[in-house]
Amino acid sequence: MTKPSMPSLALDSIISNPLFGVFITLLAFKFGQWCYKKSKHNPFFQPMIIGLFSVFVTLLALGLSFDQYFATAQPLHLMLGPVTVALAVPLYENVQRIRAMLAPILVTVILASVITISITAVIAWMMGAGQTTLLSLLTKSITTPIAMAVSTEIGGIPSLAAVFVIYTGIIGVIVGPSLLNKMRITDKRVRGITMGISAHAIGTARAIEEDRETGAFSALAMGLTGFITAFVLPLIVLWDSH
């Protein structure tokens, strides 16, 4: 019977480590940051994009399933909520400016939330999406922790909802800033609200790169969109089921 080689034993020891998922995720993100900096902030080299691809390649090369990876990445998953709440810091710093525009912001976010859910539902239905996929897709424009919770409540698949959320955010940070620039929209408040509504936490991180004020309005829009969707979407689904 052939004994396993030393490199094989070492690799098995690393993979079986309870923090293996945390390690490769942080390493992939740092690599993504390095690539983003070297590319002079090219939107296609966002740390999230490079990080996702790096983790995927690593798991594929090691022959690991997502469940094996996720089981050792739980500490990072548990930090999603606190990290999202931490975005309240730029909100606090710009509370006076936000208070002056609170009414139009609320109207904008409510309309955007309803329109986003409606358009998503119509397109998914026209493309023949199944009910479970459709319900998972409806939460694509809110941040991951809220999307996973709402998806579970309305009968979707939390992991699938998280994938839709991530890809929505990635597309938002690739297209959003350049589109705003082409439309000559320079108002920090408008740019922030747009990024927060359309690209949630990933968009907010991108908005903070531009300016603290832009990031504050993005964080506010993201939070309000998540709150409104989490409150309204289950009611819509419940009403539709009857």
Give the pLDDT confidence score for residue 1 in this predicted structure.
Answer: 47
Torsion of CA 70, 88, 189, 141, to 10 degrees: 30
Do residues 148 and 212 both lie within one domain? yes
Given a contact cutoff of 8 angstroms between Cβ atoms, the answer to whether 176 and 198 are in contact is yes
- The parent domain of residue 45 ranges over 1-78
Domain boundary (36, 56, 78) is at 78
Residues 160-176, mean pLDDT to the nearest whole number: 88
From residue 179, give the alpha-carbon distance in Å to each of 42, 160, 175, 176, 183. Answer: 14, 28, 6, 5, 6
Do residues 118 and 170 both lie within one domain? yes
Do residues 128 and 222 both lie within one domain? yes
Given a contact cutoff of 8 angstroms between Cβ atoms, the answer to whether 201 and 220 are in contact is no
Of the pLDDT bands very low, low, confident and very high (cuts 50, 70, 90), residue 11 is: low
Do residues 72 and 96 both lie within one domain? no
Residues 109-116, mean pLDDT to the nearest whole number: 87
Give the pLDDT confidence score for residue 92 in this predicted structure.
Answer: 74
Do residues 118 and 216 both lie within one domain? yes
- For residue 6, pLDDT over 50 is answered with no
- For residue 125, pLDDT over 80 is answered with yes
H/E element, 183: none
- Distance CA(103)–CA(181), nearest Å, equals 26
- Distance CA(144)–CA(132), nearest Å, equals 18
pLDDT tens digits, one per residue of 60-69: 888 888 788 8
Do residues 197 and 231 both lie within one domain? yes
From residue 132, give the alpha-carbon distance in Å to each of 77, 124, 140, 191. Answer: 23, 11, 14, 33
Domain boundary (33, 57, 78) is at 78
- For residue 239, pLDDT over 50 is answered with yes
Residues 43-48, mean pLDDT to the nearest whole number: 84
- Distance CA(202)–CA(225), nearest Å, equals 14
Give the pLDDT confidence score for residue 107 in this predicted structure.
Answer: 92
Residues 92-118, mean pLDDT to the nearest whole number: 85
Give the pLDDT confidence score for residue 242 in this predicted structure.
Answer: 59
Look up the pTM and report it.
0.77
Do residues 45 and 118 both lie within one domain? no
Do residues 153 and 187 both lie within one domain? yes
pLDDT tens digits, one per residue of 194-228: 999 988 888 888 888 888 888 888 888 888 888 88
- Distance CA(123)–CA(119), nearest Å, equals 6
Do residues 110 and 186 both lie within one domain? yes
Do residues 40 and 113 both lie within one domain? no
H/E element, 115: helix 102-126
Do residues 186 and 239 both lie within one domain? yes
* Total domains, the chain: 2
Domain boundary (78, 93, 120) is at 78
Do residues 20 and 35 both lie within one domain? yes
